[in-house]
Amino acid sequence: MAYRDFRHFLEVLEQKGELRKIREPISPYLEITEIADRVMKAGGPALLFENVVGPSHRMGTVNPQSAVMGQGSIHSPLGDVETKPYEHPVAINTMGSRRRMSLALSCDDFEEHAERIAALLKPEVPKGPIEALKQLPRLLGELKNIPVKEDKGKPICQEIVLTGDDIDLTKLPILTCWPEDGGPFITLPLVFTHDPNTGKRNVGMYRVQLHDKRTCGMHWQMHKTGQRQMEEAKEKGKNIEVCVCLGGDPVYNFAAISPLPPGIDEMLFAGFLRRENVRTVKAKTVDVHVPADCEIVIEGYVDPNETRLEGPFGDHTGYYSLASHFPVLHVTAVTMRERAIYPATIVGQPPMEDGWMGKAVERVFLPMIQLTVPEIVAMNLPVEACFHNVAFVRIKKKYPGHAYKVMNAIWGLGGLAFTKFVFVFDEDCDVQDVGQVLFRLGANCDPGRDTIHSRGPVDQLDHASMAEGFGGKIGFDCTHKWPGENGFNRDYPKLITMANDVRAKIDELWPRLGL
């Protein structure tokens, strides 16, 4: 089931008992975060704050530049903000459980999409022409959902159009999430840009800091597509046009964070997930097409030669990412639907809502990883390690040193290249069970023999790395060792297991034992 828009998704959540409406007056400055953080960590429902009141930031905040320099000067770039109600409710934690994440992806459980992708990547060879004809509609149905441009009528994302002096981003309930944040941040944005050479669309999720009424900080990190496109625009002496979209079918958010192969349009992938075309419309002031069902669209441009201090920001690492210079988005228009709802999320010390978003990515894209590294049986990127830091990998071991081959393959795969710690286990180890992982790690790994050290790119937000965006990696071979493998010349003991016939007998007897 594809959602008509973001409100349709919220209606479904409410019908299924997954949404709680908050009518108490709550401020976007820290208070929404504190409530949402408690609810997220308790496995609670999605929240809709219907009475958002108060400034989005505290007057007299510490200037981030001074904070970096260890000084304490006071700076307030956003000016005075009245304590008055916002017109827009705030929705948060809408994908903060397995069930809600699955609903966001228009399915009962997100493993269904992994199965669909696996079927496309490894289709069964038809046994004859009749079977081939039967399979054809299914394959065409999976591949047909190309985004459609609409030019007629007024889309809901443009029911209200603000330009010039009417633009005032401080009227949006943009959250200041944590006490030492550099200001309010848009935390659940879909950032639309186009490659200046090919025109190819990119949709990413990059945090956006509110600088003032008509300018924002665009957090394009060094490894991100948005940064590369801006650099290519700079070589051409051009600005790069941008749309920051909020809301719409929640599947757009998942598409924006997905590690898609080069050349795959995020909106095409969104159409595959929702089993229906994404309908887009041209923005009012820039040549960018955006989903017609968005709640809010912020249009503008980035001058590649201009940067401004952005941050600090309480990040998904559980620490504040430090202030640094990033590009500036100059806003040329804000469009929205009547009574638009503002979607948001928060990040910080895990577990958070992004944990379920990341877990869905892990599960849905496993078939693509297996296409390149087929010996991988399963993988677990622990939420507590912020996903990109640690990988537990289960393989079907075929030869001595096989674990090392898998480690190096992982460090060459897209976003998995940022993984700092890779642990490789035999196929009989459930890598989703941390107890089994620790047991096998302690039993089968000799740190002096079964480790490999490497260096390469790491997440730019990794504050522990030897340099920004570059650091060390280590892999652990936690598999049973084969004779002669890496200098191991003793007999390797067998894992203790019960005889199958005894287990079967006791299974049959168990209900009568009263235990």
The set of residues, in sequence order, having a beta carbon less than 8 Å from that of 100 and lying 6+ positions away, is 13, 18, 46, 94, 356
In 3D, which of 322, 486, 346 has the Cα closest to residue 404? 486
Q: How many CA within 13 A on the CB side of residue 397?
A: 22
> Any idea which residues carry the catalytic annotation?
315
> Partners of 343 in the beta sheet?
91
260: alpha, beta or left, given left = phi > 0 and alpha = psi -120 to 50?
A: beta
Rounded-to-integer distance, Cα 48 and Cα 19, Å = 7
> Is the peptide bond preceding residue 351 cis, with omega within 30 degrees of 0?
yes
Strand 208-212 versus strand 185-186 pairing type: antiparallel
Q: How many CA within 13 A on the CB side of residue 248?
A: 31
| 426: its two tokens | 């035999």
> Partners of 240 in the beta sheet?
302
The CA-based angle 107-112-114, given to 5 degrees, is: 130
- 8 Å CB contact between 226 and 206: yes
Q: Calculate the CA 200 to chain-centre distance.
A: 21
- 8 Å CB contact between 205 and 188: yes
> At 34, which amino acid appears?
E
Rounded-to-integer distance, Cα 168 and Cα 162, Å = 9
Phi first, then psi: give them for residue 400, nearest 5 degrees: -60, 140
In angstroms, the first-to-last Cα distance of the chain is 45
Rg of the chain's alpha carbons, rounded to an integer? 25
